[in-house]
C-alpha cells in the first residue's frame, strides 16, 4: 500500500467489492436506451455536450426558443438556454391537459392514518390554478419568495406548482426543522408568504406545525412575512392571526380553476433550497426554470426508464432536493404517476413500504440507504405478506450504500430481477449526475459512471487525475443544465465554495475513487476523511465494514487524535436485536473491521447507541458526534432530525 507521502491527497481504498450483477435480458430488451445506444450516445455527448443537451431540451415545450444553449462568458455564473421563454409548470402540468395524460393519475397520496387522495392531471391542474389565483389575490407575483413549511401532502405539491406557475420562487423548509431554522430561512430569503399546515401525522401522533410558524415569526427580525396560508390537516389547535393568517380552503374557495401561466426567462429563479455545510449558515442554493426542467426530465426518463403505465415512488420528503426533482417535478414533467406518503415508514409496523408497493402496484421504488438498513433489521418476515412483483427497478440516493444493504434490497425486495440504480447527485446538481442505467452492469456500492452529457473525474490536490484504485476529490469538469446558479444573496460564497480550488471546475466536496473499469465509488464527504498513520480512509468504508457484521445495524465513524498514528477511528454503533453490547462483542467487531479493511483500520473504541444524530434527509451528522466527543460547540444544528418526530 502506498504511503500517503507518495501520493498526497490520495485516499486508500481498503474495501474491495468483487460482485457484479448483469441485468436480465427482459430488462435490457425493454429499455428506452439500449446498451449499444448508450455507448454511442455517451461518446457523442462527450464530443459535443451542448448538442446532447439541446436535443434533450427539444423534448419540452418552450414559449420561445433559445438563442444560445450555454452562455459561459462569465464563469462560474453559467447560463443555459439563454433568450428562451418557458415555465416548468407549463411542461409539468398545462401541456398534459391537451393529451391522454389529462385523465391519468398524477398523484397518489396516502396519509399516515391510512386516508388517501388521488388526483388526475386535470384535477391537479385545477387545484394549482385555484391556488395560483389565490396567491395573486394576496399580492404575490413574479420573483417573490414563498417559504413552504409542510409535510408531504397533495397541497404541498399544489403549492410548489402554484408558486412556480405565477413566477414566484419557492423555498421549502423541512417540516421537521425547528422554529429557529425556519426563521433563519425566512429572513435570508425575505419571504413575503409562508404556506404551512395546522399539523400532520407522524408516528401515530398529530404534530402541531402552525405553532412553530408562530414562534418563528414572533422574533423574525425583518418583518418580511405579510401572509401565512394554513392547510387544515390534523385537527390540532391553530391560533389564527386575522391580519396575517388565512385558511387554505378559504383562500381558494371562490377562485377560478383557470389561471394564466407566467412567461419566464429560462434563467429566472424557480426555487431556493437551503443546504447546510459543516460550518457557517445554510447556503441558499438557487435553481432556475429552463435548465433545471431539461436536466430533471432527461435523467428521470432515462435512469428509471419510465413507461406510460408506471407508478413511481420516491420515498423522499418533498422538502429536500430529491423530493423537488423526483417526487414533484420529474415525474410530472414525464407525465407519470407519483406516490406520496405522509408518515413514518415503520408506522403502524415495519411493512408500511411493502404494503404501499403492493396496494398501488408500484413499479419503481427509489429510497435511501438508511431506510433500507432500518428495514433490513426486521429481516424478511414483513416482505412475505406482500406482493412486490410489480417492481421493475429500484433506486438509492443520499449516501454510499454499503454492499450488504445493496444486496439485501436487490435480493429480497427486487427478487434479484430489478436493477438497482445508485444515483449520485446533490442539492447543487439538481439532477442525477453519476448513475447506472437499467442496461448497466452493476457493482454493489458503486455509483457506476457519469451519465451522458456529464463529465466527472477524481483528482488529487494538485488537480491531476488519480490512478485507478486511489481516492481523490470528485469534480465535475463541464457545466450542466440543472446546475446551481449561485447562492442566494452570496455570489462570493458560491465562487469560493465550489469553484475556487480548481478554477473553472466544480468541486463536489466528496471523496471518491475509480476502479480499473472506470466505475466510481463514493467514499464520503471530504470533511469526513480519517487520516490513520498517514493513510486517508473514507468514513463510509469503515462504516460499511462494521455493518457487514451480523450484529451491527448502523455505524458512524469519526476520527479521534492518537499519539502514534495521528488519528484513529471511534465508532458509534446501533446493534441489531438480540445482540448485547459487551467487551467481547467490541473485540469481535474491532477484529472484524481489521479483517475486512486491513491493519490500517484501527478502531480505538466503540460506543453503543440507540440512535445516531441525523439530518431529516437521513444522513448521519458525524460533526455532531465529534462535537459531543470533544465537548465543542455543535455549530449549526438546524438540520438535525427531531427524534421525537
Ligand atoms: C451529498 C449531497 C441529491 C440527493 C441526496 C441529498 C451524498 C448523494 C449519493 C450516492 C454516495 C451520495 C454525497 C453528496 N450522496 N448521493 N448515491 N452515493 N453518496 O442531497 O443533501 O445535497 O447531499 O450526498 O456526499 O455530496 P444533498
pLDDT digits (tens, 9 = 90+) for 541-592: 889 899 999 999 999 999 998 888 888 999 999 999 999 999 899 999 999 9
Q: How many alpha carbons fall within 13 Å on the CB side of residue 366?
A: 30
User: Residue 531's pLDDT band (boundaries 50, 70, 90)?
Assistant: confident
Q: What was the pLDDT predicted at 375?
A: 94
| 455 Cα: distance to centroid of ligand 1 (angstroms) | 17
CA distance from start to end of the chain: 46
Positive or negative: CA dihedral 5, 523, 511, 298 = positive
- In this structure, are residues 81 and 322 in contact, taking their beta carbons and an 8 Å threshold? no
> Which protein residue has the closest C-alpha to ligand 1 atom 5?
398
137-262 to CATH, choices 3.40.50.980, 3.10.20.600, 3.30.1490.20, 3.30.70.1070: 3.40.50.980
Q: State the DSSP code for 484.
A: -
Backbone φ and ψ of 37, nearest 5°:
-70, -40
Residue in 326, 327, 369, 426 to alter for ligand 1 test, most ligand atoms within 8 A of Cβ: 426
Is the CB of 541 within 6 Å of ligand 1?
Answer: no
- Residue 407 CA to residue 303 CA, distance in Å, equals 19
Q: What was the pLDDT predicted at 258?
A: 98
Is the CB of 525 within 6 Å of ligand 1?
Answer: yes
Give the SS3 label for residue 522: strand
- Residue 514 CA to residue 536 CA, distance in Å, equals 16
Domain boundaries, the chain: 137-262, 529-630
Q: What was the pLDDT predicted at 11?
A: 64
- Taking residue 309's Cβ as centre, other Cβ atoms within 10 Å add up to 10
| 585 Cα: distance to centroid of ligand 1 (angstroms) | 32
Instruction: Find the angle CA(313)-CA(314)-CA(315) to the nearest 5 degrees.
Output: 105
| 445 Cα: distance to centroid of ligand 1 (angstroms) | 13
To which H or E segment does residue 562 belong? strand 552-562
Helical residues (DSSP H) of 219-345, grouped into ranges = 248-252, 289-303, 321-323, 330-333
Whether omega before 547 lies within 30 degrees of 0, making that bond cis, reads no
| 571 Cα: distance to centroid of ligand 1 (angstroms) | 22
- In this structure, are residues 374 and 345 in contact, taking their beta carbons and an 8 Å threshold? yes
> Which three three-digit cell numbers place residue 474?
470528485
> Which three three-digit cell numbers place residue 431?
439532477
Q: What was the pLDDT predicted at 116?
A: 98
In Å, how far are 399, 458, 513 from 510, measured between CA atoms?
11, 10, 10
Tens digits of residue pLDDT in 305-330: 999 999 999 999 999 999 999 999 99
Largest Cα–Cα separation, the chain: 73
| 399 Cα: distance to centroid of ligand 1 (angstroms) | 5
Q: Across all residues in the chain, what is the average pLDDT?
A: 93
Q: Taking residues 15-44, what's their average pLDDT?
A: 90
- In this structure, are residues 132 and 229 in contact, taking their beta carbons and an 8 Å threshold? no
Fold of 529-630: GMP Synthetase; Chain A, domain 3 (3.30.300)
Q: What was the pLDDT predicted at 641?
A: 60
- Residue 591 CA to residue 611 CA, distance in Å, equals 24
**How far, rounded to the nearest angstrom, does the alpha carbon of residue 461 sit from its chain's CA centroid?**
27
Where b means 16+ CB within 10 Å and e means fewer, 180-207 reads ebbbbbbbbbebbbbbbbbbbbbeebbb
Q: Which residues pair with 119 in a beta bridge?
A: 107
User: Residue 277's pLDDT band (boundaries 50, 70, 90)?
Assistant: low
Q: Taking residues 110-133, what's their average pLDDT?
A: 98
DSSP 198-244: SEEEETTEEEE-HHHHHHHHHT-SS----EEEEE--S-------TTT
- In this structure, are residues 37 and 43 in contact, taking their beta carbons and an 8 Å threshold? no
- In this structure, are residues 573 and 608 in contact, taking their beta carbons and an 8 Å threshold? yes
Amino acid at each position: 500500500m502506498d504511503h500517503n507521502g507518495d501520493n498526497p491527497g490520495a485516499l486508500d481504498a481498503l474495501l474491495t467489492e468483487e460482485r457484479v450483477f448483469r441485468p436480465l435480458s427482459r430488462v435490457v430488451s425493454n429499455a428506452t436506451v439500449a446498451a449499444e445506444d448508450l455507448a454511442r450516445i455517451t461518446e457523442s455527448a462527450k464530443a459535443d455536450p451542448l448538442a446532447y443537451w439541446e436535443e434533450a431540451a427539444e423534448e419540452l415545450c418552450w414559449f420561445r426558443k433559445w438563442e444560445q444553449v450555454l452562455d459561459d462568458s462569465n464563469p462560474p455564473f453559467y447560463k443555459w438556454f439563454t433568450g428562451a421563454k418557458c415555465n416548468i409548470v407549463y411542461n409539468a402540468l398545462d401541456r398534459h391537459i391537451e393529451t391522454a395524460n389529462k385523465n391519468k393519475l398524477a398523484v397518489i397520496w396516502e396519509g399516515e392514518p391510512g386516508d388517501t387522495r388521488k388526483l388526475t392531471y386535470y384535477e391537479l391542474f385545477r387545484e394549482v390554478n385555484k391556488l395560483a389565483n389565490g396567491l395573486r389575490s394576496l399580492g404575490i407575483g413574479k420573483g417573490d419568495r414563498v417559504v413552504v413549511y409542510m409535510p408531504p401532502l397533495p397541497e404541498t405539491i399544489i403549492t410548489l406548482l402554484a408558486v412556480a406557475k405565477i413566477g414566484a420562487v419557492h423555498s421549502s423548509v423541512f417540516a421537521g426543522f425547528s422554529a429557529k431554522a425556519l426563521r433563519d430561512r425566512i429572513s435570508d430569503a425575505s419571504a413575503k408568504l409562508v404556506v404551512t399546515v395546522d399539523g400532520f401525522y407522524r408516528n401515530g401522533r398529530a404534530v402541531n406545525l402552525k405553532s412553530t410558524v408562530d414562534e418563528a415569526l414572533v422574533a423574525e427580525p425583518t418583518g418580511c412575512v405579510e401572509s401565512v396560508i394554513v392547510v387544515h390537516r390534523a385537527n390540532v389547535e391553530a391560533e389564527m392571526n386575522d391580519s396575517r393568517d388565512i385558511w387554505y380552503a378559504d383562500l381558494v374557495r371562490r377562485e377560478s380553476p383557470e389561471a394564466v401561466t407566467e412567461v419566464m426567462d429560462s434563467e429566472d429563479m424557480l426555487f431556493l433550497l437551503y443546504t447546510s455545510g459543516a460550518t457557517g449558515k445554510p447556503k441558499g442554493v438557487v435553481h432556475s426554470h429552463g435548465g433545471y426542467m431539461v436536466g430533471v426530465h432527461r435523467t428521470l426518463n432515462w435512469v428509471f426508464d419510465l413507461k406510460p403505465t408506471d407508478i413511481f415512488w420516491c420515498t423522499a420528503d418533498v422538502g429536500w432536493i430529491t423530493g423537488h426533482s423526483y417526487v414533484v417535478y420529474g415525474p410530472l414533467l414525464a407525465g407519470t404517476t407519483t406516490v406520496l406518503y405522509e408518515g413514518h415508514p415503520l408506522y403502524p409496523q415495519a411493512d408500511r413500504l411493502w404494503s404501499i408497493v403492493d396496494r398501488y402496484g408500484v413499479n419503481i421504488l427509489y429510497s435511501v440507504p438508511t431506510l433500507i438498513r432500518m428495514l433490513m433489521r426486521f429481516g424478511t418476515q414483513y416482505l412475505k405478506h406482500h406482493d412486490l412483483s410489480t417492481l421493475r427497478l429500484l433506486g438509492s440516493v443520499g449516501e454510499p450504500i454499503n454492499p450488504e444493504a445493496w444486496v439485501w434490497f436487490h435480493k429480497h425486495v427486487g427478487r434479484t430481477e430489478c436493477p438497482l440504480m445508485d444515483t449520485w447527485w446533490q442539492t447543487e446538481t439538481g439532477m442525477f449526475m453519476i448513475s447506472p442505467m437499467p442496461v448497466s452492469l452493476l457493482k454493489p456500492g458503486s455509483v457506476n459512471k457519469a451519465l451522458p452529457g456529464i463529465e466527472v473525474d477524481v483528482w488529487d490536490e494538485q488537480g491531476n487525475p488519480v490512478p485507478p484504485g486511489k481516492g481523490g476529490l470528485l469534480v465535475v469538469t463541464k457545466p450542466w443544465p440543472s446546475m446551481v446558479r449561485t447562492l442566494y444573496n452570496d455570489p462570493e460564497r458560491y465562487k469560493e465554495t465550489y469553484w475556487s480550488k480548481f478554477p473553472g471546475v466544480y468541486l463536489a466536496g466528496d471523496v471518491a475513487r475509480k476502479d480499473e473499469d472506470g466505475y466510481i465509488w463514493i467514499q464520503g464527504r471530504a470533511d469526513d476523511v480519517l487520516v490513520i498513520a498517514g493513510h486517508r480512509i473514507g468514513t463510509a468504508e469503515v462504516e460499511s465494514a462494521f455493518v457487514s457484521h451480523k450484529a451491527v445495524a448502523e455505524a458512524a465513524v469519526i476520527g479521534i487524535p492518537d499519539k502514534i498514528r495521528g488519528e484513529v477511528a471511534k465508532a458509534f454503533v446501533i446493534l441489531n436485536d438480540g445482540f448485547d453490547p459487551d467487551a467481547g462483542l467490541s473485540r469481535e467487531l474491532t477484529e472484524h473491521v481489521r479483517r475486512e479493511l486491513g491493519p490500517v483500520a484501527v478502531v480505538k473504541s466503540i460506543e453503543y447507541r440507540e440512535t445516531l444524530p441525523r439530518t431529516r434527509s437521513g444522513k448521519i451528522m458525524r460533526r455532531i458526534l465529534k462535537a459531543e466527543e470533544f465537548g465543542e460547540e455543535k455549530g449549526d444544528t438546524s438540520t438535525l432530525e427531531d427524534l421525537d418526530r
